[in-house]
Amino acid sequence: MSNAWGMAMCGAVALLLLGFAVREVVLVRRLKWAGIRTPGVMVDNTRDDYSDGHNWVPDIAFVDQQGHRVEFSPQMRGAGLNLARGLEVQVVYEDGKPKTARVLMWKYMMGPAVYLMLSAVAFTGAAAALLALKN
């Protein structure tokens, strides 16, 4: 693979990741300003199937405006992000879209956007390194 091709691919991935990060930030702003807040309860921990099986993912349940019980798992996963079973947390979701629910804590709200932006910076750095190697 030539440096130009690699540079173009890294730049394209960086732009794609940046776009996803902006989408996350827009969703979080919309949730903070117009989201419906309700109490939720951490009901269980399940094993993360995508890792080596050592990470636990919290399952959080809440009741939406229509009275339906909704369970979800936060997008942020990993060591140090567990919640104690029975813990009551504040949940926020879009009106009529309870599947957009997020735990109202900074690490759960902004974590995906931060990691997407850091990944975009890493791919931009890789593209810059390939550009420097070309010259």
β-strands 88-94, 36-47 pairing:
antiparallel
pLDDT tens string 21-33 = 999 999 999 989 9
pLDDT given at position 122: 94
Cα separation of 8 and 85, whole Å? 46
What are the residues whose beta carbons fall under 8 Å from the beta carbon of 37, sequence distance 6 or more?
A: 90, 91, 92, 104
pTM: 0.76
> How many Cα atoms occupy the beta-carbon half-sphere of 83 within 13 Å?
25
pLDDT given at position 129: 87
Neighbours of 31 (CB within 10 A): 19
pLDDT tens string 75-106 = 777 666 667 788 888 999 988 888 888 888 88
